[in-house]
Copies of this chain bind each other. A is one copy, B any other.
Amino acid sequence: MQPVMTIDELHRFLDTDFPQIHTDGRVFTVTEVQAGVVSMRFDPNERHLRPGGTVSGPALFTLADVTAYAAVLAHIGPVALAVTTNLNINFLRLPKPTATTCTCRILKLGKRLAVIEASIFQEDEDELIAHATATYSIPPREI
């Protein structure tokens, strides 16, 4: 399972075709593309925080979903239109209001479904703050 897009190509595609992920500023940055793996860094701003200085659940959900979507795209190319059909997220620890990374691993890349595992952590911590698995429906592709 080899990626067919680079970090730069993913950024260009997301900027053009999915600009709404930048509605709150450029908070999502692809940091890693490898065989079966894509990582993104999320720099939360005021909109993503909660009283007490934690990152909101919807912000972590969005991070998992955007990174998993980028992982699918990186391996099937920019044409296809994948749609999230299921996302299961476990919130494990209260995050600090700081840079957060999501590393997605492709568990399955089938003709019709892709299943992705997402691990969310913060820079100087050993332990995950959240963990998700997501399924994407992949439209029929020309060959």
Show the binding face of A for B, using Cβ within 8 Å.
Answer: 20, 23, 47, 50-51, 56-58, 61-62, 65, 83-93, 107-108, 112-113, 115, 117, 127-128, 131, 133, 135, 137
Q: Contacts of A128 on B, CB cut-off 8 Å? A: 107-108
A75 to B8, CA, bound (A): 43
Sample of 5 A–B contacts (CB below 8 Å): A20-B56, A58-B62, A84-B91, A86-B90, A87-B89
**In the complex, what's the smallest C-beta–C-beta distance from A69 to chain B, in angstroms?**
9
Choose among B127, B131, B135, B137 the residue that contacts A117 (Cβ–Cβ < 8 A).
B131
- Specify which of A50, A93, A113 lies most central, judged by the most chain B CB atoms within 10 Å of its CB: A113
